[in-house]
């Protein structure tokens, strides 16, 4: 009976907001973090999101016993050989949302185990975590808010439902834009929607670093955005290799599927502050997590705010990126050069 009440509460929380809520400015102060169960230190772990995957990842850590255990669990949950896919590809399959999300989830946590084997004290010294989009699930598992198996179960459904939502309606996707203020880019998106008309969706979906944004929506509107943004002085306006308009209301069908699976897993209080993509502030507690994860699919990712909060408010000076590539490090360079210089990558 208690379990049924818990699931009902999670579903109700996840179902609250389907559209972006009003958020403070990028420079606004964040809420105080949840009381941590680990000592406060200067160290924070960051986990990358979709787009950082690459054929050959996991090669460096596949023989670590803890990673082998994760891969065995992945075989059971996913029903296919994830290690083989990561090592051998093909790239087209690994890049598919259905496969890239579970692969990156495992890779991020495998990077933790690689670091633990090399420097266990550094792992133990971490006192805050965050992840970009999909990487948020790695951060939650690392912080003890969700078990690895439950996290993988949710990520599997998330990838499948996002891929399915991407196929609905007229084509949609994402566009990286660098060099415009938010006010100018918002005006560009509004003009693109007005020109394409109807029920067109086009909005800023990722706030990554100063003047580094991603617009997300229908492809006809994004083509117009690319043209208008370039004319307005953007340094870059390039389509991303993704299957759909992530972090917009076009992902509502995926959100509904995600709410269902989130209601089937157990969240506990994280042992350290974990920063939410939706607010750029730490989750207030376990009861908030499911709802925020559901909102994340249809609302913008506040990554610049997250890094600023970690560095300026939480005073984190040593950031580590755990997972393939250097996606996050490149963004941190545009936010805080001093912290970037001290940043370390733990690649797999």
Question: Distances in Å between the alpha carbon of 94 and those of 27, 36, 53, 78, 146?
Answer: 36, 36, 7, 14, 25
Catalytic pick among 172, 247, 276, 347: 247
**Largest interatomic CA distance in the chain:** 60
Q: What number of residues does the chain have?
A: 348
Tokens of 332: 């941190």
Helices (H), the chain: 2-14, 65-78, 82-88, 91-95, 97-118, 120-124, 135-142, 148-166, 182-196, 219-231, 252-262, 286-296, 303-308, 327-335, 337-341
Scanning the structure block, which residue is given the tokens 């918002």?
186
Does residue 347 have an active-site annotation?
no
Specify the DSSP class assigned to residue 282.
Answer: B
268-290 CB burial, b ≥16 within 10 A, e <16: ebbbbbbbbbbbbbbbeebebbb
Given 52, 127, 133, 243, the catalytic residue: 133
Q: Hey, which residues are catalytic here?
A: 133, 247
């Amino acid at each position: 009976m208690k379990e049924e009440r818990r699931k009902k509460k999670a579903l109700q929380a996840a179902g609250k907001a389907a559209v972006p809520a009003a958020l403070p400015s990028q420079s606004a102060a964040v809420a105080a973090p949840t009381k941590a169960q680990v000592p406060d230190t200067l160290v924070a772990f960051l986990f990358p999101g979709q787009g950082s995957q690459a054929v050959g990842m996991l090669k460096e850590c596949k023989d670590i016993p803890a990673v082998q255990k994760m891969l065995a669990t992945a075989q059971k949950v996913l029903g296919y050989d994830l290690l083989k896919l990561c090592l051998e590809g093909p790239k087209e399959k690994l890049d598919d949302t259905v496969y890239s999300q579970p692969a990156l989830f495992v890779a991020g946590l495998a990077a933790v185990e690689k670091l633990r084997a090399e420097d266990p004290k550094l792992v133990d010294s971490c006192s805050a975590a965050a992840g970009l989009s999909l990487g948020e699930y790695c951060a939650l598992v690392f912080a003890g808010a969700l078990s690895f198996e439950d996290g993988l179960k949710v990520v599997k459904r998330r990838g499948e439902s996002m891929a399915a939502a991407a196929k609905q309606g007229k084509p949609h996707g994402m566009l990286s834009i660098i060099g415009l203020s938010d006010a100018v880019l918002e005006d560009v998106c509004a003009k693109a929607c007005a020109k394409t008309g109807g029920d067109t969706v086009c909005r800023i979906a990722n706030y990554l670093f100063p003047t580094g944004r991603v617009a997300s929506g229908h492809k006809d509107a994004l083509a117009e955005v690319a043209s208008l943004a370039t004319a307005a002085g953007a340094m870059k306006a390039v389509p991303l290799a993704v299957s759909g308009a992530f972090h917009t209301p076009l992902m509502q069908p995926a959100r509904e599927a995600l709410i269902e699976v989130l209601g089937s897993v157990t969240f506990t209080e994280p042992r350290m502050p974990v920063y939410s993509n939706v607010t750029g502030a730490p989750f207030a507690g376990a009861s908030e997590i499911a709802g925020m994860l559901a909102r994340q699919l249809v609302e913008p990712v506040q990554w610049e705010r997250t890094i600023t909060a970690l560095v300026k408010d939480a005073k984190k000076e040593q950031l580590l990126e755990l997972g393939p590539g250097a996606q996050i490090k490149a963004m941190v360079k545009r936010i805080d050069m001093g912290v970037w210089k001290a940043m370390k990558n733990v690649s797999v």
